[in-house]
Structure 1
Amino acid sequence: MSDTVNTTLRKNAIGVGAIVFLVLAAVAPLTGMVVVASLAIAFGNGGGAPFSFLAVAAVLLMFAIGYGKMSSQLVNAGGFYAFVVKGLGRPAGLAAGYIATIGYNFFVVGTIGTSGFFMMVLIDFLFGISLNWFLWGAASMVVAYLMAVRGIDFSSKVLGVSLVLETAILVIFDVAVLVKTGYDISAFSADAITSGSLSIGLLLAATGFLGFEATSLFSEEAKNPLKTIPRATYLAITIIGLLLAVTTWAVVSATGVAQAQQTSIDHLEAGDLVFSLGAEYLGEFMMKVMMVLLLVSLFAAMLAFHNSATRYLFSLGRAGVLPKALSRTNAAGSPVVAGTLQAGFALLVAAAFRIAGLDPILQVVPAMLGFGTLAIVVLQALAALSIVVHFRRTGDPRIWSTLVAPAIGFVGLSFIVVMAVTHFDVVAGSTERAITSLPWLLVLALVIGVGQALYLRNSRPDAYDGLNTDLERFDTAASIH
């Protein structure tokens, strides 16, 4: 019976646009503005925060140049795990796979807390319906799971609608500020850029881009992935960078560049900086529309991160590292077993937080998303290094695209990793020892990954070989049109 089990993702299901929708929905621009930009202004470099978003976008585009070259040779649902196997070897790749799996699963738990909290507050405010945050978050997780089971093409359509709506409200706000107040060019002055803490500003801005790396996770389901994935990656980073930078510029212009940091700090507890400006520039009705779209944005992020976490579990299962059952797919080509495990894990952890009586927005969300952020940036840095090593090993003559650009990306990402570890209490929003010790999980993942790889090499050489053979999941010749 096991011989007839389907372990194939649906081929040719999504194009460049659909992948961009999947990725930008994971980034959740409106959520990024309400949460990430407000924090970057408050704790980072204040009125100079727009520069932080542009600087991070530039670093990621440097990385993406090499990423695009690597994507043109490698198609696999394992994403950056597959990149690291290809560049740094199987032990490092397996460690990266575990880091990615932990990071994305923590992200999903965080989205349950975020979605649950804002649904609890905003639905009560808008419609007078009051339920506990966990019930709202759990309901969102169940709906996201059911949508994911229907297939990646269905998810991309749902996320596409969400993305268009939340992007539209941000653009309307940007235009309103431009017309009524104008944008203050002093936001890009040396004084503004270096005000407050530029390093923390860059670190927090980097969290606004998390999710762009998911383009490679959908390569097996993409149309002509050798061209589609690089294009989707460039588009995603560019759109995210411009949208967040311009909207943050609108926010600091509306508050006043010099006053932006203190104004953002004053609104932190209520988390309503963007909403208060929305009411001022767009009116009460559009502010309420923005609130509803925030709920849509939060759900879209949950669905996108659930899809990403599921594909890492699927890929590790198919390679024989985790139980093979995780590689089973349904008739729609969705990794249903991995998806069920992922959703179940997220719900159990969120339920444990609820039983412990922890505050979702002050304790659950910062810890889960903070650690997830660190894990994914570490993964990006490893992938950048892998690109450099792989192309040097193969003697590739393209110096700029396969050495200089990805090396710049690696240095920039490594700087962000150091800042994240150094200031993890800021990223995770807590000085509790249990929270500030979370980065040690990355060390544990490294030890387990390398240890398991060495065990497989000595005791199960067929499974060890499978870590390499599983990478090549696409017929390059068949993709040429």
Structure 2
Amino acid sequence: MRSVTLARRKLGAGSLWIFGVSASSPLTVLVGGVIATYATTGVVGVPASFVLITVALVLLAVGYLAMSRHVTHAAPFYAMLAQGLGGTAAAAGAVVALVGYHCIQISLYGLVGVTLVGLLGGVWWVWAALVWLIVAILGVTRVSANARIVGTLLAVEIGVIALFDIAALTHPAGGTLSWAPFEPSTLFVNGAGGAFALGMAAFVGAETGPVYGEEARSPSAVRQATLLAVTFLGAFYAVSSWAVAVAVGPDHVVDAARDPQLGLPFSVLGSAYGPSVVTVATLLLVTSVVAAMAAFHHACARYLFGIAREGVLPARLAQLTEGTAGGTPVAGSVVQSTIAAVMVAMFVVAGADPMTGLFTWLSTIGALAILGLLVATSVAVYRFFRAGRGGTESWFVRVAAPTLGGICGGFVLMFMISNLASLLLLPPDSPRRWLAPGLVAAAAVAGAVWAGWLRRFRPRVYAGLGAGTPEPIGVLDQRLAALDV
């Protein structure tokens, strides 16, 4: 018998935490994101930026996770926007989420291909094709089995980063442990906006816990895992970026990050532990990226399933693997793999650089999309609780957290948009810098237009947006009456 629901009560808080942290790809953030932030912005206070971003994300997450307890859905942004802001916002958010998560997942093929070329030689897209096959297989495998594999790799990855932190902090440049990178005077300088923008991008993926809400053992597991993932990553990134500055000295960290011959942070690992550890760290960089790709693949597949289940997309996209206890979204997984293969092939045919073309552009688009969704969802959370639909949540959860989180997130979003030229490695006045936000905006408009079509020609589908599972006829009739159709 073919299942019609996702596998129930399969994932505990530990598994959900693993997916959230691995999607962020900590080693990739250290090797790529932190070094790039120092190099491109010239800001020494990168560790301080991670502390402030963590506070903003926790505020955003409090309301988001509180609402997820009441609105459990495989496509959480879509469902929360539906319940808080209505069907048009939900459809717009659905398209933006699909674009965002697909862009982030596909961007990593460029990074993993180039990394493997540097390690083993060959052609980047051949390695990318091999990784694509691995991710495609993981995508149709039981998610609980994925958690065990990814968790093992993540534990070793975190161990290697911890070795780097220990080596840097116990052997500081000049023999003195400097706290300057945490001082406001080193953060709030020219380039601070870019530091906030790049720092925010490092957290993308940590918010995916509610995607597995229908498969989690309890709503509290989702809340605990996601909040722990955000706070863990914030502390881990702050300490690791501080360790980079301490290793070479805060006064020299920007120049050191801009010197590719120095090879931060691998040079510190090599000096402390020998070249074999550097080789292991490089291999772990590959597995870190693959784990992140698998996590985003799962998120894309579940979004496609959750939206198709309600008739917004073709029903065949809601197909699951067989099983009486619930299944895995096999159709969504196959579609995600197909889209990834086509997109990577297009970049290969166009002769685009896998890093500056594929990785940089698509990851920036994805980060913009997800941050925009978090800000929009904070408004939906506020309106949902204001309507008295969330039980007895505290004033902080209902009002303060979504309001403060939305404001902080909005400022980071503005910082990101204002620094797009540097993020995309473009001249400051290049009109191409508007392509990324333009694509996200176009996705939102396309979703809103689709919602308008559904409202007019398929009102019952429109009335059920964000419901998750088919609602009683009476509930749908009430929604239809409110639409006056």
TM-score by length of 2: 0.91
Partner of 1:478: none
Q: Distance in 2 between matches of 1:220 and 1:353?
A: 35
| SS of equivalent to 1:322 | coil
2:216 corresponds to 1:222? yes
2:375 corresponds to 1:351? no
The answer to whether the Cα contact below 8 Å between 1:387 and 1:402 also exists between their aligned partners in 2 is: yes
The answer to whether the Cα contact below 8 Å between 2:379 and 2:406 also exists between their aligned partners in 1 is: yes
2:229 corresponds to 1:236? yes
Partner of 1:406: 402
Amino acid at match of 1:164: A
Q: Distance in 2 between matches of 1:162 and 1:373?
A: 24
Cα displacement (A) at 1:196:
4.2
The answer to whether the Cα contact below 8 Å between 1:110 and 1:364 also exists between their aligned partners in 2 is: yes
Partner of 1:325: 316
Which of residues 329, 337, 362 in structure 1 aligns to 2:356? 362
Q: Distance in 1 between matches of 2:422 and 2:316?
A: 39
Partner of 2:416: 420
Which of residues 242, 264, 267 in structure 2 aligns to 1:273? 264
Amino acid at match of 1:156: A
Tell me the alpha carbon deviations over residues 322-341 of structure 1, each in whole angstroms, 9 at most, x when there is no partner. 11111101136211111111
Amino acid at match of 2:342: L
Amino acid at match of 2:62: I
Partner of 1:454: 452
Which of residues 53, 70, 73 in structure 2 aligns to 1:73? 70
Partner of 1:312: 303
Q: Distance in 1 between matches of 2:444 and 2:135?
A: 30
State, as a whole percentage, how many aligned pairs show the same letter.
Answer: 28
Cα displacement (A) at 1:67:
2.0
Cα displacement (A) at 1:43:
2.5
Cα displacement (A) at 1:360:
0.5
Cα displacement (A) at 1:469:
2.8
The answer to whether the Cα contact below 8 Å between 2:78 and 2:90 also exists between their aligned partners in 1 is: yes
Partner of 1:479: none
Tell me the alpha carbon deviations over residues 448-468 of structure 1, each in whole angstroms, 9 at most, x when there is no partner. 222221221221111112214
| SS of equivalent to 1:438 | helix
Which of residues 181, 196, 199 in structure 1 aligns to 2:193? 199
Amino acid at match of 1:14: L
| SS of equivalent to 1:208 | helix
Amino acid at match of 1:218: Y
The answer to whether the Cα contact below 8 Å between 1:50 and 1:187 also exists between their aligned partners in 2 is: yes
| SS of equivalent to 2:214 | helix
Report the count of equivalent residues: 461
Partner of 2:17: 20
Q: Distance in 2 between matches of 1:433 and 1:349?
A: 23
Q: Distance in 2 between matches of 1:83 and 1:312?
A: 13
Q: Distance in 2 between matches of 1:76 and 1:263?
A: 46
The answer to whether the Cα contact below 8 Å between 1:428 and 1:436 also exists between their aligned partners in 2 is: no
Partner of 1:177: 168
The answer to whether the Cα contact below 8 Å between 1:173 and 1:282 also exists between their aligned partners in 2 is: no
Cα displacement (A) at 1:132:
1.0
2:129 corresponds to 1:138? yes
RMSD: 1.9
Tell me the alpha carbon deviations over residues 243-270 of structure 1, each in whole angstroms, 9 at most, x when there is no partner. 1110111000111112111211223xx6
2:142 corresponds to 1:151? yes
Amino acid at match of 2:244: V
Which of residues 86, 94, 101 in structure 2 aligns to 1:104? 101
The answer to whether the Cα contact below 8 Å between 1:108 and 1:305 also exists between their aligned partners in 2 is: yes
Tell me the alpha carbon deviations over residues 11-66 of structure 1, each in whole angstroms, 9 at most, x when there is no partner. 11110000000111100100010111112212235321000111101101111221
Unaligned runs of 5+ in 1: 124-129, 474-481
Q: Distance in 1 between matches of 2:42 and 2:190?
A: 4
Q: For residues 433-444 of structure 1, what are the structure 2 equivalents within 5 Å?
A: 433=431, 436-444=434-442
| SS of equivalent to 2:71 | coil
Unaligned runs of 5+ in 2: 472-485
Q: For residues 245-260 of structure 1, what are the structure 2 equivalents within 5 Å?
A: 245-260=238-253
Deviates more, 1:62-71 or 1:429-438: 429-438
Q: Distance in 1 between matches of 2:425 and 2:153?
A: 28
Tell me the alpha carbon deviations over residues 391-412 of structure 1, each in whole angstroms, 9 at most, x when there is no partner. 1122767321211112111111
The answer to whether the Cα contact below 8 Å between 1:34 and 1:272 also exists between their aligned partners in 2 is: no
Deviates more, 1:308-317 or 1:42-51: 42-51
Partner of 1:93: 90
| SS of equivalent to 1:358 | coil
Cα distance change on mapping 1:227 and 1:102 into 2, 3 Å: same
Cα displacement (A) at 1:232:
0.8
Amino acid at match of 2:15: A
Partner of 2:39: 42
Q: Distance in 1 between matches of 2:61 and 2:262?
A: 33
Amino acid at match of 1:230: R
Amino acid at match of 2:462: Y
Partner of 1:379: 373
Q: Distance in 1 between matches of 2:462 and 2:160?
A: 50
Q: Distance in 2 between matches of 1:397 and 1:220?
A: 21
